[in-house]
Amino acid sequence: MTFTRRGFVAAFGSAAVWPTIIKKPAKKSAKQFVRAEGKSLLDPNGKKLLLRGINLGNWLEPEGYMFLFEGGPQSPREIEAFVNELVGPTEAETFWHDYRRLFITEADIKFLKQSGLNSVRIPFHYKFFVSGNEGFRLLDQVIGWCRQAGLWVILDMHCAPGGQTGTNIDDSWGYPWLYESEKDKEQLCQVWKRIAEHHSDDTTVIGYDLLNEPIPHFQQLQKYNSQLEPLYRRITRAIREVDAEHLIFLEGTMGQQF
């Protein structure tokens, strides 16, 4: 079966030069942010907002099933090791740099808008926001396209330090070590604080999804359920030090014990 590029929601794009980081808009009043009222979201005009969106998956957190690697590497670290073995670490570094730069294009964002969607969720790996600016260059570019197209954005921590799930989706070592490590918890808070500070004035961003699919339903991991709410409160406090406006999205455990 043959697919066109637009047959995929997120496809490789044509070559382009790095853009400059899109400048954040001037400071906005709270009225210009999407806000929650009861069980509803309200847009800046006070009208109810029903999100119709999609994930920009496999971009800032590659996953084996999205590459159709059946029986092959599944987590980002496994996929990166696989590419290293294929072409060597130097070529692999160039490949991944270009991959991240070209994977989502402005044409893709326009296509999503034309398809009737009004929002995107951007899953990401924490490592792109520990230091340096590559992660912010990538987000600024795509968020800028979303702003121009009229799409809302939710930022999603898909791969947290140590791993919040213990499977391939969080790039962990097969166990949710986040809940055992004070160092990882603190790094998670600081990464979210850095992200929130950078996007604090951006009204295109609806809010922050603090952890994707935390704590699987496996019985031996239920001991961590009681840690989730305190961790969420801790991350939220760190974010609120620099950003008082954006919404906070809290996912329950995969066993729905929240």
Nearest CA-CA partner of 190 in 244, 138, 130: 130
- pLDDT tens per residue, range 69-81: 999 999 999 999 9
- pLDDT tens per residue, range 5-61: 333 233 323 223 333 333 444 455 555 999 999 999 999 999 999 999 999 999 999
Residue 196 in contact with residue 145, Cβ under 8 Å?
no
Task: Kindly list the structural domains of the chain, giving each domain's residue range(s) and its CATH number in brackets, ordered by start.
Answer: 15-63+105-249 (3.20.20.80)
- pLDDT tens per residue, range 181-198: 999 999 999 999 999 999
Q: How many CA atoms lie within 13 Å of 258's alpha carbon, on the beta-carbon side?
A: 17
Residue 105 in contact with residue 14, Cβ under 8 Å?
yes
The whole-model pTM stands at 0.87
Burial class (CB in 10 A: 0-12, 13-18, 19+), 14: exposed
**What percent of the chain is predicted at pLDDT more than 90?**
84
Residue 204 in contact with residue 147, Cβ under 8 Å?
yes
